[in-house]
Amino acid sequence: MSKIVIIGAGFVGSTIAYALMLGGTAEEIVLIDKLKEKARGESMDLNHGASFVKPVNVYAGDYEDCSKADIVVITAGAPQSPGQSRIDLLQTNTAVMKQVVTSVMEYNREAILLVVTNPVDIMSYVSWKVSGLPHRRVIGSGTVLDTSRFRHLLSTRCRVDPRNIHAYVVGEHGDSEVLLWSSASIAGVSMNKFCQRCEHPCSEDNRNEISAKVRRAAYQIIDDKGGTYYAIALAVKRIIESILRDERSLLTVSALAELIPGAEDLYLSIPCILGRNGIEQVVLFQMNAAEEREFDSSIEVIKSALLQV
């Protein structure tokens, strides 16, 4: 039996529960929210679809229901508003994270913590420090979604199924994130070589435009409809599946960058192999000189943000 607890039953938390339910990912899903009637209403709404999915028990609970959970997903905190960067949420959500993690630890010190609250790299670090858990069991959703956005835009440009594209986004989940163009490939063929035979090759301007669209995607969606939740829910579902099924999938989650010089005591979004124990292995990735400079700048952004907390 697999049990997932989701703390925060807002748009993101409830959509994660919906995605898990549709995927038959867990047999037990608990929603916890300071607005108890919100969690109760969301769980009731989900349960009314029980005849259309695999057996699952969805219910509203409290922190004591974190007991025996395999994964505790934390989405609680102030959402990003139009005009705000993720870093703008720093002080408010740090206080929320400390309270939430402390409460979870009272009832379960064996679960994996999966942090979704923004700014996710900083909040993952705070959760690790507050929980006292091994860093391999404190994970942030990182740039899993940004990586998917990157692949989607490449798919549209190159007219190739995004599942056949290998391209990653690393660093901060935010404005300083780094798109790894130099190692991007399609079916094992580097982007540079693929472009030579493509009917729609990417010029430098095209690449800059795609990079900007990936970095600005959340702002556009927030301006248009108030928040992002469908794609991040699918990204979190993918992370959870890799852990519960011990798939050892490679995903760009937020993890302790202990192997990266200058970032040893930081959480960054980096390629990691995820399995039943959480972070099974950090995969060291290659960058060209320009990407290295961008990555160093991203590290400095996170260091600066940490000084504020």
Which residue segment(s) compose the domain that 86 sits in?
3-140
- Distance, in Å, from the CA atom of 94 to the CA atom of 117, rounded to the nearest integer, reads 10
Which of 101, 118, 140 represents a domain boundary (last residue)?
140
* 76 or 84: which leads in pLDDT: 76
- Is there a contact between 87 and 303 (Cβ–Cβ < 8 Å)? no
166: annotated active-site residue: no
How many domains, the chain? 2
228 shares a domain with 92:
no
> Tokens 């060291």 correspond to what residue?
284
Neighbours of 249 (CB within 10 A): 16
What are the residue ranges of helices labelled H in 2-79?
11-23, 36-47
Cα Rg for the chain, rounded, in angstroms?
19
* Parallel, antiparallel or unpaired: strands 71-74 and 112-115: parallel
* In contact, 65 and 95? CB cutoff 8 Å: no
- Both tokens assigned to 185: 């490939």
| Final residue belonging to a domain, choices 117, 140, 163 | 140
158 and 279 belong to one structural domain = yes
Of the three residues 113, 140, 167, the one that is the final residue of a domain is: 140
What is the reported pTM? 0.94
Considering the candidates 135, 152, 173, 200, report the single residue annotated as catalytic.
173
Q: Do strands 178-179 and 3-7 pair parallel, antiparallel, or not at all (unpaired)?
A: unpaired
List the CATH number of the domain containing 80. Answer: 3.40.50.720
Q: What is the pLDDT of residues 82-104, one digit of tens each?
A: 766 667 778 888 999 999 999 99
* Domain identity same for 280 and 134: no
Residue appearing with tokens 């990555």 = 295
CATH number of the domain residue 161 falls in: 3.90.110.10
Over residues 145-175, the pLDDT tens digits come to 999 999 999 999 888 999 999 999 999 999 9
Residue 273, pLDDT above cutoff 80: yes
Residue 75 DSSP one-character state? -
**65: amino acid identity, one letter:** D
Average pLDDT, the chain: 94
In 3D space, the residue among 181, 180, 185 whose CA is nearest the CA of residue 162 turns out to be 185
How far is the C-alpha of 189 from the C-alpha of 113, rounded, in Å?
Answer: 36
